[in-house]
Amino acid sequence: MLVLVLLLLLAGCGGVGVTETTGVSLSAPPPDTSYNDTDVMFLQMAVPQHEQGIEMAKLAEKRASRREIRDLATAIRLTQEDEVARMSRWLEKWRQPVAPDLDPAAHAGHGGMHGSDPAVLEVLRNTPAGPDFDGRFLNLLTGHQHLAVELALMEEKDGFNADTKAFAGRIVKSRTAEIEQMGAYL
């Protein structure tokens, strides 16, 4: 009898187990059904894409020869820093990793990994300040922002979470406007 009492006490001490009245485990919250896999994938892929855009913008803030390009770079950096924080908070709230799965097979169903080429930063880092930098930055950032629009359109189409889909819609509008603005600067 003493062994049975000890076992029951030990089972109750861990805080893990099933309640008598509901049968629900006390250790795990119910699953969050406010998002789907597309929402998670969009955010996980957009965070590093934004981080690269931030690095590109920082280089332009220092090296662009034209004031309007430096101003655009500053606006892009500030916007994307805020967006990275927002996206990271959503993923953390959903208890999802911020980093995407790097296994290419995990992305076969949606056209592969949608990420920026790391060589883009190297090209900009190796381009001296001045007019050549301006043109190279504008061209590379235009391609970079096209990718952001593609990711956001995928979220708008297949995502579930209303806030994430609205956020994707804002990305489509803002990045499209930036692309048009950069085209005018070229």
DSSP for 144-164, please give it. HHHHHHHHHHHHHHH---HHH
| Residues 6 or more apart whose Cβ sits within 8 Å of residue 20 | none
pLDDT per residue over 4-40, tens digit each?
A: 333 333 344 444 444 454 455 455 556 678 999 999 9
pTM of the model: 0.77
| Residues 6 or more apart whose Cβ sits within 8 Å of residue 120 | 52, 56, 140, 144
If you average pLDDT over every residue of the chain, what do you get?
84
pLDDT at 103: 60
pLDDT per residue over 122-146, tens digit each?
A: 999 999 999 999 999 999 999 999 9
